[in-house]
Structure 1
Amino acid sequence: MKADALFPFPQYRLIAGVDEAGRGPLAGPVSVAAVILDPERPIDGLDDSKKLSEAKREALYPLIVERALAWRIEFVDVEEIDRINILQATMEGMRRALCALRPSPELARIDGNRAPKRLPCAFETLIGGDALDQAIMAASILAKVARDRHMRQLHARWPQYGFDHHKGYSTPAHLAALTQHGPCPQHRRSFAPVRLALTPA
């Protein structure tokens, strides 16, 4: 597919890539990032954060922060996730991140097939965008690194769950710890494995 067919909005110059990290875990916030890259300051090595090593993501993070025209990371906490559900929490995080960008974007390019309501700009959704668009790649890296760092901080408070290793995902070790210790305040009560751990045997 030709590039102009993939990205059919040549009139826009301030284009924000948007991506999230942490929709699936049983614990911790969902992290959303929006990034407007500077074409005059390219960043080598950008890719989907899931394809990069932790060391590579950590190395790229300060380069993105330094060279981007604008960037923003938003956390949506566990209480809000449980109140409005994880999809709506993710959409709200995207909206907040885009609204906070300065300069404001003219177009938001959002990874996936859903977009929030009440955005401050035009938008397009792009399935697999974190492998196709540099700004979405940058957003995926910021969201992933920021959330991983946050989960390591949570580990310092609740070390019995191993948040520093699995980052809240439902690994066998995490499920075993959840069964043994029950949920902590950072577990998402709206997720079935956490609800199950709350139910008396």
Structure 2
Amino acid sequence: MSACPFCQTNMRATFLGGLPREECNACGAVWFEGESLAKVMGGSVSDALVRRAKGHPGICKGCSTKLQYVPSCPDCGAQAPTCPSCGHAPLPAVDALGVTVEVCSDCAGVALDPGELQQLQRAAEAYRNEPLDVRPKVRLGVVQACTACKRELKPKYGFVWEEQLYCGSCAPEGSVPFSEELAKATPSEESTMPQGSGYHAAMTADATGSALTWLFSRVFGR
């Protein structure tokens, strides 16, 4: 058995709806192994999730302090969210459609506390019929500004990271060059989801696993 990433209590293994996970009986958190997620969602989705997690701070579950490069919170002393597989701490906190999830940037595992599980279900409910376009809201030919240094920048010369535009000097690691394709919304393509990851699948026996697959496929599966 693995230790809970948040309270370090031993978790129990479960397997429902095709997505294995571990659950904590003490705090209600769940942990999804990165290897299992990659098999269900595809390697490209898993890789994109890890790229987004790198460099992000963690969040203390005791007092919500941002944590970077520390095994415990300097404010309240609580242990930082820790990967039960490789021990990486703190786990980076990543936002996906308003749902905060803790991701191990080393092994791609994902942890959710009870509040995040509720956020996940609300996100699935809110977007179940939406042809969601989560790509950068930038347009060719329009002079904008770099998110970091605020210098004027035409999108075609910029780089995109987490739906924001950066100049070449400020672009974070993992950014991609802006292209016209990133400015186009194609509802029919955006609303296509992998088999077994739609909202209605999330309402079957394993709502959490299916909803998580749905969420990451919408955000990263492009």
Structure-1-length-normalised TM-score: 0.29
TM-score (norm 2): 0.27
Greater fraction helix: 1
Higher RCO, Cα 8 Å, sep 6+: 1
